[in-house]
Amino acid sequence: MLDLNTVLTDFISISGLTLEESKKQSNLIEISIDYIKTNLKPGVDIESNKKLLSMLVASIAYHKYILIKESLSSSSCVKLGDISINSSSESLIKTAEKLKKEFTSLASHLLLSPNFIFRHV
């Protein structure tokens, strides 16, 4: 069964958040679980693919978490005297996206149109 408790450990390992911080993201995780469950090919055995699907869901939830976190961040630069530290939210977002794409690719044989892109030409 693919549920919050199953995915939470993988989300913690990907995000580096504590258990308590990760539990605060349970809505993102559950939305991601529902998304994957509705996009599985008919007949896919969740139990035999549980680890891969759990990592996929965790990577999707982490990507959503980073997008939200970075959109709410008011400062990406810290200045202490003559020292300035800039954090690149763009590189963090790209890293989260690469992780999500990697797991989507690994699970593509289980998903309906995992890489479908719609665009107006």
- Residue 54, CB-side half-sphere exposure with 13 Å CA sphere: 19
Rounded-to-integer distance, Cα 59 and Cα 101, Å = 9
Q: Where do the domains of the chain lie?
A: 4-110
Considering only residues 71 and 112, tell me which one the structure prediction assigns the higher pLDDT.
Answer: 112
Region 77-84 average pLDDT: 59
Global pTM reads 0.80
Tokens of 87: 């954090």
Rounded-to-integer distance, Cα 101 and Cα 74, Å = 28
Does 39 have pLDDT greater than 60? yes
Rounded-to-integer distance, Cα 81 and Cα 76, Å = 16
